Structure 1
Amino acid sequence: MNEHIQKLIVDGTLYGLVFFSVITWILIIAKGVQHFRLGRQNRVFTKQFWGASNLDAAANLSDTTGAKARLAASGFSALYVVDGESPDLEHSWDRQELLERHLRQQIQKEYESLESGLAVLASIGSTSPFVGLFGTVFGIIHALTALSKAASPSIDIVAGPLGEALIATGVGIAVAVPAVLAYNFYLRRLKLASADLDSYATDFVNLAQKSGFRVSKPVAKVSATQSQGGSAVHVNNQVIGVAA
């Protein structure tokens, strides 16, 4: 292997580690924003939910953002009952089992969303030191090759290549440390968020049991406005008919 290829391998290793570092910090910032928004949205929805007079009132909450809000919406979708409506195949299940099934599926979706990116952080944290060491090995080979070809061997000939080789090791460690720390931190946050959703789901099932696992669907607000010679009927602020 000639010196040019050895030099390219060392340089490629350094560029690869810089790329890993950029990916790491993008994920750290993105996950931080995700968890910050999640915590704020959950706090707002929790306050609104427990402030509702009953489950029917809670089902009419306008706030639908956040993991808990989506979990509640999934639970309500399993409990909705309309008088005179014949149940479909899905709602022919035992209502408690159906509710628990919906909640489990939604918790799994939220877990997968929060877990995204953690595998990348773990991979970068565990492999970066070895990538740096890989560059170090070829840097040393490059230095020894240059030393063997020198007419008068001296430390000056190998100082530069050896310095580059050690830089590769240092960069590999510098990339791995924040990736590992971020992975452990967000894994802990993931476990706390998952436990919080599990606790909320248990409370939701207990509340649903008190209401017989049935919640009435929200009724659309209907208003009539009189116009010249007629009236317009509005449902959810949309005109659905005009009577002369």
Structure 2
Amino acid sequence: MNESLSSMIVPGVLWALVLFSVMSWALLLIKSSQYLRQKSQNNQFSKAFWAAPDLLTAAEHASQYPGSLARIANSGFEAMIVDDTPRNTQQLAHTINRSDRLERNLRQQIQKERRSLESGQAILASIGSTAPFIGLFGTVWGIMEALQSIGVSGSASLETVAGPIGHALIATGVGIAVAVPAVLIYNFFLRRLKLASANMDDFAHDFDALAQRSAFAIDRQAISNKRTAVREAS
């Protein structure tokens, strides 16, 4: 291998590890902002939703508020909407009863929200698992270069050996220093994901119980009239 290229291996490994470290801390900031924003949005929506006097008002809140719970509720209301337009009962979409459609919509929306929250987790897991080995590779390569240099110089004194090998060992230390925060950040957000998923599942269960009171149906025209009234009032 070209000598100049060979000498770039260890610095390249170190720069790669620095990049991994920057990615880990950037994901910490991005994901923290995502979870804090979602928590605030869900708290606001939950207060408005459960304070609503009827399902029509709750449906209006679901269409107006941001956040994962609002989107789950909105998908549930979409499954409950009933209108008076003629339907071809031979179509497969109309052979599913509203209870099953509601359960499917809620489940699919929860899965979408989970996938959104899972974004970046694979990167953190990859950094945490590979960074030590990348650092070890840099160390092994650095030691090989050091031994070659010693062979060329013909001197094996402590001063000659300690410097290059000590420099090579830095790569392993950096790899571990990059991996540990990545693993901790991954585990932290894994815990947050489980809590958020449980919160969404609980809301979906409560929504399903609430929908049973209206026989899993809500009138499309009533929603339209409600939205018109809200706009006129504002």
Q: Counterpart amino acid of 2:81?
A: Y
Q: Distance in 2 between matches of 1:176 and 1:72?
A: 39
CA contact (8 A) 1:132 1:171 kept: yes
Amino acid of the residue matched to residue 93 of structure 1? I
Q: Is the 8 A contact 1:125 1:179 kept in 2?
A: yes
Corresponding position: 1:196 with 2:199: yes
Which amino acid is the alignment partner of residue 193 of structure 1? Answer: A
Q: Which runs of 4+ in 1 moved over 6 A?
A: none
The reply to whether residue 19 of structure 1 matches residue 24 of structure 2 is no
Note closer, same or farther for the CA distance 1:203–1:222 as it changes in structure 2 (3 Å cut).
Answer: closer
Give, in angstroms, the shift of residue 161 of structure 1. 1.8
The residue that corresponds to 1:231 in the other structure is none
Contact 1:10 1:139 in 2 (8 A): yes
Q: Does 1:182 align with 2:185?
A: yes
Give the superposition deviation at 1:3: 4.8
Contact between 1:3 and 1:145, CA under 8 Å: does it hold in 2? no
Q: Residues 31 and 222 of structure 1: is their aligned pair in 2 closer, same or farther, counting only changes over 3 Å?
A: closer
Cα deviation per residue 1:7-54 (whole Å; 9 max; x = unaligned)? 211111101101111111111111111111111111111111110112
Partners of 1:77 and 1:39 in 2: CA distance: 24
Distance between the aligned counterparts of 1:66 and 1:160, measured in 2?
A: 56
| CA distance in 2 between partners of 1:26 and 1:102 (Å) | 33
State the AA in 2 paired with 1:33: S
Larger of the two Rg values belongs to structure? 1
- Number of equivalences: 225
CA RMSD between the two structures: 2.0
Q: 1:178 to 1:37 in 2, by over 3 A?
A: same
| Deviation, structure 1 residue 64 | 2.5
What's the counterpart of residue 153 of structure 2? 150
Q: Normalised by the size of structure 1, how large is the TM-score?
A: 0.86
RCO comparison, higher one (Cα < 8 Å, 6+): 2
Structure 1, gaps ≥5 residues long: 224-234, 238-244
CA shift, 1:159, in A, is 2.9
1:222–1:102 Cα change, 3 Å: closer
C-alpha separation in 2, matches of 1:222 and 1:69 = 20
Structure 1 pair 54–33 and aligned structure 2 pair: CA distance change class (3 A) = same
Q: How many angstroms does 1:222 deviate by?
A: 5.6
Structure number with higher strand proportion: 1
Q: 1:145 to 1:3 in 2, by over 3 A?
A: farther
Return the alpha-carbon distance in structure 2 between the equivalents of residues 135 and 222 of structure 1.
66
Q: Percent identity?
A: 54
Please report the TM-score for the alignment, with normalisation by the length of structure 2: 0.89
Counterpart position of 1:242: none
Structure 1 18/222 Cα, relative in aligned 2: closer, same or farther at 3 Å? closer
| Structure 2: runs of 5 or more not aligned | none
